[in-house]
Amino acid sequence: MTPYVMAAVDGSPQSLTAARWAADEAVRRGLHLRLVHARTWEDDIDADPGQPADVRALTTRMLMDARQEVSRSFPGLEIRAELIGDGVPADVLAGAAATAELLVLGSRGLGGFDRLLLGSVGQGVAARCDAPVVLVRASDTERTDAPEGPKVVVGIDTRAPSDAVIDFAFREAAARGAVLHAVHGWEPPPVWGYAGWVAPQTETEQFRSIEAELLSEALTGWREKFPDTVVVEDSRIGTGAGAVVDASTGAALTVVGRRRRPHPVGLRLGPVAHAVIHHAQSPVAVVPHD
C-alpha cells in the first residue's frame, strides 16, 4: 500500500486544525493524506432517528466538507476521505492507522478538556496505535517558532534509549530544518535529594556530568546519520516529564516514546508520555517502541 498520513475528523474546528497540520506533514513527506471518520453516538444527534441512512449522509457530507476545506490550503495534495466503520472510536482509529506512517488527532474527544491536549479517544489511540500518533490542539497553530529558530524537542530515556523515538525526532527535525533539542530529566538520589541536607557541590557536579554523558551516549551515531541537523543536549535536574514540558515552549513538535507492551490492567501510556501530552506547549508525537 502507498504510504500516507492519516487524520481523524469529526467536523469540529479542532479536528480541522489537526487535518491541516496533517496535510502540511503529508506535503513535507511527499505522501497523500487520508481523512477518516469513525462513527460515534454523537453522529446520531442531528440525524432523523427514522432515517438510518441519514446518519451516513451527514457524516459523509462532513468528510467531504473537511476535504474541501483542507484542499483550499493545499491545492496540490492528494486527499482521500472515507468512513471507517462503527465501534469504539479508539479501537477503530488505531486499527485503521496500522498501515499509516502517522496518525494525527485534534484535541476534541468524548472526554476532552479545553486546556488539555486530548480527550479519552485521543489518549486511547495514542496508547494502542502501532503508528506514531500526533496530537494537535487549535492553539498550537497560533504559536510561532522560538526566537532562535524552529526546534523539535525529544525526550530521551538515557537508561533505555529507543532507536524508533530518536530516529523519528531526527527525521522530523531534518525535514523542518529545525534544531533538535534532546532533553533528559534526572532526579538526585533519594539519600540526598529528600533527606533534608544539601549534597556538596562536587558531588552534584559528578552526578550532572554522569547524566550528561549518558545523554551524549544515547545520541551516538545519530549525529553522523543526520550531519546537517544541529543538536542541543539538555540534561537537567527534574522529572523527565517536567523537563520535556518546559522545553516544549516554542517547539514545532515534541516527541516522546510509548512502550508497546501492555500494562497488566490494559494498554496505557507511560507516566512521562501521559504528562507531556496533557501539558506540552506544542503538538506532541507519541512514538511506539519495543
Q: What is the pTM of this model?
A: 0.87
Using the 3D structure, point to which of 105, 140, 175 is the last residue of a domain.
140
Same domain, 191 and 101: no
Beta strand residue intervals within the chain, DSSP E: 4-8, 32-37, 79-83, 102-105, 133-135, 151-155, 179-186, 231-237, 253-259, 284-289
Same domain, 63 and 170: no
CB 111 within 8 Å of CB 15: no
Same domain, 46 and 180: no
Same domain, 134 and 32: yes
Rounded Cα distance between 68 and 28, Å, is 20
Same domain, 155 and 283: yes
Count Cα neighbours of 187 within 13 Å in the Cβ-side half-sphere.
Answer: 10
Quickly list H helices, 177-282.
Answer: 190-193, 201-218, 222-225, 240-247, 271-279
Same domain, 17 and 97: yes
Residue 282 grid cell: 506544542
CATH number at residue 65: 3.40.50.620
Same domain, 102 and 157: no
Using the 3D structure, point to which of 140, 160, 177 is the last residue of a domain.
140
Using the 3D structure, point to which of 140, 156, 186 is the last residue of a domain.
140
Residue located via cell numbers 514545532:
252
Same domain, 147 and 281: yes
Please state the domain count of the chain. Answer: 2
CATH number at residue 174: 3.40.50.12370
Same domain, 24 and 92: yes
Give the domain extent around 101: 4-140
Same domain, 168 and 254: yes
Same domain, 148 and 277: yes
Per-residue pLDDT of the chain (290 residues), as tens digits, is 689 999 999 888 888 999 999 999 999 999 999 999 987 645 544 555 555 556 677 888 999 999 999 999 999 999 999 998 777 888 899 999 999 999 999 875 333 333 333 457 788 899 889 999 999 987 665 554 555 679 999 999 999 999 999 999 999 999 999 999 999 999 876 554 444 555 555 566 788 899 999 999 999 999 999 999 999 999 999 999 999 999 999 999 999 999 986 654 455 788 999 899 889 999 999 999 98
Rounded Cα distance between 144 and 127, Å, is 29
